[in-house]
C-alpha cells in the first residue's frame, strides 16, 4: 500500500511539473515572437540572457533571497538535486552565501523539522528533497 501512495504522489508530481514546463514553453514562445518582431522592425535593442537551468519566469524576476534556515536548506537541496548534501556541506554553503554566523547547533534542529514535515529525507548521511515535499510546496494555498 505504501508503494501505491508513493506512485500516486509521483504521478501527481509529474503532472504538475509537466504543466509548469508547458507554461514555461509558452513564455519562451512569447519571448521568441517579441524578438523576431523586433528584428523585422529594425529595432536596435539587444537582449542578452545567460543560459541558466531555471524557469524562464525566474530569469525575468528578482530571485527571492531565503530568509529562514529552512528556506536556505530547501534552496540548496533543490540546487544540488539529484545529488544530496551532508549536513556539513549544507552548513558551509549557507555560511558562504547567506549567513556566515550560522552554527551547526542551529542547523540540526531545522533539518529534523524539515524531515518530520516530509520536505526532506536522509539517506547514508546525505540530505535530499522529497518528491512529496515538492508536491506540497507547489500546491495552491488553502487546499
Cβ–Cβ < 8 Å for 132, 118: yes
pLDDT digits (tens, 9 = 90+) for 47-99: 444 444 455 555 444 457 778 899 899 989 888 877 889 999 999 999 998 88
Cβ–Cβ < 8 Å for 47, 36: no
Cβ–Cβ < 8 Å for 120, 77: yes
Whether the bond between 121 and the residue before it is cis, its omega within 30 degrees of 0, is no
CA atoms within 13 A on the CB side of 116: 7
pLDDT digits (tens, 9 = 90+) for 103-127: 888 899 999 999 998 889 989 999 9
Q: What is the mean pLDDT of the chain?
A: 75
Q: Span 69-138: which CATH code?
A: 1.10.10.10
Instruction: Count each helix (H run) and each strand (E run) in the chain, helices first.
Output: 6, 2
pLDDT digits (tens, 9 = 90+) for 91-101: 999 999 888 88
Amino acid at each position: 500500500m505504501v508503494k501505491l501512495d508513493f506512485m500516486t504522489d509521483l504521478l501527481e508530481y509529474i503532472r504538475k511539473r509537466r504543466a509548469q514546463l508547458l507554461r514555461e514553453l509558452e513564455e519562451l514562445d512569447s519571448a521568441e515572437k517579441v524578438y523576431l518582431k523586433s528584428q523585422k522592425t529594425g529595432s536596435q535593442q539587444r537582449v542578452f540572457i545567460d543560459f541558466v537551468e531555471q524557469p524562464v519566469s525566474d530569469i525575468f524576476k528578482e530571485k527571492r533571497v531565503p530568509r529562514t534556515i529552512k528556506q536556505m536548506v530547501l534552496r540548496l537541496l533543490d540546487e544540488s538535486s539529484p545529488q544530496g548534501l551532508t549536513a556539513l556541506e549544507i552548513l558551509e554553503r549557507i555560511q558562504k552565501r547567506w549567513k556566515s554566523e550560522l552554527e551547526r547547533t542551529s542547523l540540526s534542529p531545522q533539518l529534523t523539522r524539515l524531515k518530520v514535515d516530509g520536505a526532506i529525507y536522509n539517506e547514508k548521511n546525505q540530505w535530499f528533497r522529497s518528491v512529496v515535499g515538492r508536491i506540497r510546496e507547489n500546491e495552491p494555498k488553502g487546499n
